[in-house]
Amino acid sequence: MQPTPIEIICYHCEQSAEKYLKGYIILNGGNLYKTHDLTRLNELAKEYDKIFSEIDDDCVELVDYGVAVRYPFHIDLMEQDMKMAIESAEAIARFITERANR
């Protein structure tokens, strides 16, 4: 697709990570929180497994992309931002999938 829809790709990466974190929390008996803050969701996941600190940086990498689409403020995104967002989303998905399958 030209031009590459970088902003929406970053948004979907954030959404993916959000759903994985919420799913893990629920899988472990936690309550569903209405928040899009990946850092907060990761803190909640740490209550079940402290090793979630390993994905702190990936959560920080993605957190702004969920807010940018919902609230009107402009951020300049480049292709490298998109690639990093994809890498972080994939890392979070792998990390949580491994823990959920134990």
In a domain, 16, yes or no: yes
Prediction pTM value? 0.90
The 3-class secondary structure across the chain, one letter per residue, is: CCCCCHHHHHHHHHHHHHHHHHHHHHHCCCCCCCCCCHHHHHHHHHCCCHHHHHHHHHHHHHHHHHHHHHCCCCCCCCHHHHHHHHHHHHHHHHHHHHHHCC
93 is in which domain, residue-wise?
A: 6-100
In a domain, 1, yes or no: no
Q: Consecutive sets of 10 residues in the chain, 102 residues long: mean pLDDT of each?
A: 87 97 96 91 97 98 79 76 97 96 80
Q: What is the pLDDT of residue 84?
A: 98
In a domain, 67, yes or no: yes
- Structurally, the chain folds into a number of domains equal to 1
In a domain, 31, yes or no: yes
Q: What is the pLDDT of residue 70?
A: 56
